[in-house]
Structure 1
């Protein structure tokens, strides 16, 4: 019993779900709750497709009239079926097929946007973790400098103000690291629902930021919302043709049979009957569906103009994202390969000069702060490059799994 109580009193450790940057897209596709719900719209469209393009059910009529002094007993049976004399049924089937395609494209477009958003969060988290690591390295250096200044101040070789200033700089870096940790927590809170991770479960984004490689040029016409706009334009044209086909209502045709029987004075019964064919043709004198035809034509033109506007917007997004990628890649390389090595070398020289008493602490701290800002700016440029790449791939529809 004691062992059981001891086991139950031990702390429990939650399972940490770990995801790589390359696996974010697949995880969102399979576990995002919004996508699971959105896929049901495809089944709804397919259900509507099953009931489209079918003839109306035939109607069966029967009537019975009992014998009277002036009329015989009469029984009538009739069956009628309505038939369209236009292309209405074919157009209905074509329209619902286009709407199924539109539903599939709409789900893929939601998927595209959600994956881009999730990948953006993941890139920011990895970049913040690298910023935190940079702050930790800087904090270790600042702590070392603080201890050195404190020991020299105790010996009377340095001013106590230098030791206090070094301690303040160390605390500033620690607070900066805590601020970055808060941002990571906020981003993880937004990312967890997209990955199907419960709020109580830990989540880790592993992997490093990829190299600064410009992607190949991808035609933006394959983007799902543009294809969706094109499909909606075709569906609007079909809908306009369907409205035009309703100018003439369906023709109804059928057969009927009648049987009559009447008693004769001699006690005999005389039975007669006949079979006939009838047809009902509506005359479009007062209503030729002009209102719906005008409405559907205007809707088709609106869809066409919206598709053109979307194409212009996508082309602009694609060009802007590619320019941002190139600018951030150039900035990151210029900072890391040319400027940062000079600043690091100069900082090391100033630190050695401070240790030998050739310069003051403020100059060393200013050089370290400049180095930190450059290293952070280089990381920000790398982060912004990959965020622009995500926007480019989302703009062109070339989202990788």
Structure 2
């Protein structure tokens, strides 16, 4: 076979490489990213545990702000151990405590807010879960595409290695060229093993995250994609914070702290006690002898504020409220800053990836074609051809990383503004 024939085979070989570099693997039937998110929201064990917080808060609400149980008092007295004249007294009374302040209604209010806080906590955990699932799906899709590229190159290298080996006896190829193909093949196989190990770790993390059992198969159809147009990023300002679950949590915690301050003030006054009692007394009444008398009585017990009470708890509640207010303001700044940073990063990466795709891909195609022609004309060596192939792989991998980083930044932005739920 002539060198021109070898050039023809190599040219087809390089074009097949370019095809594998310029396009991602065709998505096989499997779970989309949105389907994985839905499964995670339904099956996540940690999220199921978090949802019990709402039930716990509702259970606490049913017992919050109730008056203390009434007290039943009974007393009996007799002189049987002394004069033994048959005198005795029996009394029964019912006593109930009543608060002088709004203490009980404040406790009910706190319990109501705690229910809303539990709901916000669950909502925030859902937001963070969706973020982590999306990031994992994006990373797995990135590794799947990298693996697809390298596997295509391996198949091409194997075919080309067989071709070169078959042409050594006829002096149309040299053992050096065959060894170069084998070395390239070995390097690609090692890269594939490393990528497969990384992918397995990510799949294991995703499996646990969405509630799948150990060893249960997960097949994803999600692939990295820039999309046909730049996504629209809405502004995220102070007016948008009220719907963000993490900010809602801090606001509700501040509301609870405010009510606890009111509760500390209310606790400075103890409850008053009202009692209703019935007493029967048998006593000696001269000259009639033993007589029986009955009494119906009402008692009132009012605590006197003789000492300063609850000052330490009141001061602590004031400081706790101040702390919650500062934490809420800190979360506000953090959320708005993160939303802005991730929005700018995603927009920049989209522009960078689009420009890279439009400019560099065309240059790679021209370079591969010219390299094949130069090899056919004997102007370059096979080693230089493989260097060009490696360069094409690096360029495509660099572009994939840009798209991956763009998808990750987009997921971070959606989580930061709570638009991923």
**TM-score scaled to structure 2, two decimals?**
0.85
Measured in 1, the distance between the counterparts of 2:91 and 2:275 equals: 13
Displacement of 1:71: 8.1
- Cα contact 1:84–1:249 (8 A) shared by 2: yes
Using CA pairs under 8 Å that are at least 6 residues apart, name the structure with larger relative contact order, 1 or 2. Answer: 2
From 206, 209, 216, the equivalent of 2:233 is: 216
Task: Flag structure 1 segments of 5+ consecutive residues without an equivalent.
Answer: 1-16
Q: Residue by residue, what CA displacement relative to the aligned partner does 1:157-176 show, whole Å, maximum 9, x if unpaired?
A: 44432221122112212221
SS in 2 for 1:313: helix
- Cα contact 2:137–2:222 (8 A) shared by 1: no
**TM-score scaled to structure 1, two decimals?**
0.89
Change (3 A) 1:340 1:210: closer
Report matched runs for 1:221-232 at 5 Å.
Answer: 221=241, 222-232=243-253
SS in 2 for 1:203: coil
Q: Could you say which residue in structure 2 is the equivalent of 1:12?
A: none
Measured in 2, the distance between the counterparts of 1:74 and 1:97 equals: 48
Q: Could you say which residue in structure 2 is the equivalent of 1:136?
A: 151
Matched, 1:60 2:72: yes
Report matched runs for 1:99-178 at 5 Å.
Answer: 99-178=114-193
* Displaced runs of 4 or more, over 3 A: 67-72, 140-154, 210-213, 262-269
Q: How many residues are aligned here?
A: 384
From 377, 388, 399, the equivalent of 2:398 is: 377
- Cα contact 2:61–2:112 (8 A) shared by 1: yes
Measured in 2, the distance between the counterparts of 1:177 and 1:331 equals: 27
- Cα contact 2:87–2:290 (8 A) shared by 1: no
Displacement of 1:269: 4.8
Q: Could you say which residue in structure 1 is the equivalent of 2:220?
A: 205
Q: Residue by residue, what CA displacement relative to the aligned partner does 1:268-311 show, whole Å, maximum 9, x if unpaired?
A: 75322222211111112224210000001101100110111111
Change (3 A) 1:152 1:349: farther
Q: Could you say which residue in structure 2 is the equivalent of 1:92?
A: 107
Measured in 2, the distance between the counterparts of 1:173 and 1:128 equals: 14
Q: Could you say which residue in structure 2 is the equivalent of 1:6?
A: none
Q: Could you say which residue in structure 2 is the equivalent of 1:339?
A: 360
